[in-house]
Amino acid sequence: MKAIKLMDVVKHVNAIDYTAIDRTISVTNVEFDARKIQAGGLFIPLVGGSTDGHSYIQQAIDNGATATLWSRDQSEAPTDQLAVVFVDDTLEAFQKLAHFYRNEINPVVIGITGSNGKTTAKDMTASTLKAKYNVHKTEGNYNNEIGLPYTLLHMPEDTQVCVVEMGMSGFGEIEQLSKIARPDIAVITLIGESHLEFLGSRAGIAQAKLEILKGLKENGIFIYPANEPLIETEMPEIDYPIYMRSFGFDDQADVFAYDLAEEPDKTYFKTNIDDNVISMIPVIGAYNVSNALVALSIAEVLDVPSEQAIFQLAQFKLTANRLQWLKTHQGARLLNDAYNASPTSMNAVLTTLSNIELEGVDRKIAVLGDIRELGNMSEQLHRELSHSIDPTIIDKVYLFGSQMTYLYDELKGKFAAEDLVHIEADHAELIATLQADILATDVLLVKSSFGVDLLQVVTALTGQVTK
């Protein structure tokens, strides 16, 4: 990161007070984990739940911290060992500092949110833009009120484009993130059903996602799915001009894809950006083409030559545990997509499992866990998953979790008893049953919400560590 003067920290976090032996120092790294602090670092002692970062101040000092934020009583601060900036709330100060640093580096900021696909769209976008720019992006799932400011404060000084992911579970969260990041380009990948428990309806989800526009810069660009009427009906009032660009599979969209063809580890398609070139993404799933359209739309806006953007798109790497092909101990192919789930994404990947043609495969097996945070729509949405499971194509189904009882009820008249298994809570039982059943000629899909922890099942079946 670019060094930040101590006095700029004091000014931009709205400090109550500060103390320093040397007021001219600068900080060269920022961390909230005392173990990661390096020489010249600013420590951010976050407070939450049973954890109070102030308790780790000595470890931060030992690792080289030269300054710290501080919201405990001033008498407790180690003012004899490092500069101390006193604030009311260390998280709020952290966010304010990130906003300052975003403006100091002043890259083109791209904010991406959505019910599904935001991590993949972020990774694809960063990959395409590397053809022309120095790009910094959100790593892993650092997409919340802590992760986003952390991402911004870790931008190298030469960053030209910063791609940030914005996650949420309730109202007001995306607005807060967007106002910290102040995106030049705002993206919604999809309005799905995630977080229905907290937001009440798809309209509520749309309202929460559209909060990203509250921080979009004047004359900024909003990129959104063309086939989503809720974008128009729930659009907030904005008192300054923005530009809108849609993407999808209909030729009425500003950027659209057609002539899709799926293979086990890649998907081909054409776009109206360049009708003469076949695009490819190194990942299965026609639904991932939507995320590719986001990336190509942004590349076009930022004047990346289309042939370079398409080439870079073909090189992108998926974040771990998202559509990851693995081998089981028996030699069967396993498609691991157990990091997250919504009804939309589960239906989509079940369609992909149904459509995929793999040489030497005798059985297609779906291993599905509960989808969380669906509130009073949970029963209906789990039952409706049955529409994507054709017993003439998918040979066997394993269901895990209490909510999958509803899908079991829908399927039990369609599958033979030995081809439909429901286990409510015992991971060990599911693992043992699968290990006894899997053959080398099978292909398995494993999909669930993260909290269901089917990743431990994937690890047991493949020997591959998942997290």
Q: Which residues are annotated as a binding site for ATP?
A: 114-120
Question: Cα separation of 366 and 249, whole Å?
Answer: 27
The runs of H, that is alpha helices, within 182-313 are 196-199, 202-209, 229-233, 288-301, 306-313
Count of other CB atoms within 10 angstroms of residue 451: 12
Please give the structure tokens belonging to residue 202. 């798809």
Side chain identity, residue 131: A
Question: Cα separation of 436 and 454, whole Å?
Answer: 17
In SS3 terms, 20-64 reads as CCCCCCEECEEECCHHHCCCCEEECCCEECCEEHHHHHHHHHHCC
H or E stretch at 163: strand 161-165
Please give the structure tokens belonging to residue 246. 């849609």
Question: Cα separation of 162 and 138, whole Å?
Answer: 8
Strand segments (E) across 240-369: 243-248, 255-263, 266-271, 274-281, 324-327, 333-337, 363-369
Please give the structure tokens belonging to residue 364. 């297609």
Of the candidates 157, 161, 164, 123, the residue with the CA atom closest to the CA atom of residue 142: 164
Annotated binding residues, as ranges?
114-120
Distances from the Cα of 90 to the Cα of 47, 150, 212, 387, 420, angstroms:
8, 13, 24, 49, 51
Sign of the Cα pseudo-torsion (120, 363, 367, 387, in order): positive
Contact 91, 52 (CB under 8 A): no
Of the candidates 287, 320, 323, 283, the residue with the CA atom closest to the CA atom of residue 141: 320
Sign of the Cα pseudo-torsion (218, 99, 2, 8, in order): positive
Count of other CB atoms within 10 angstroms of residue 371: 28
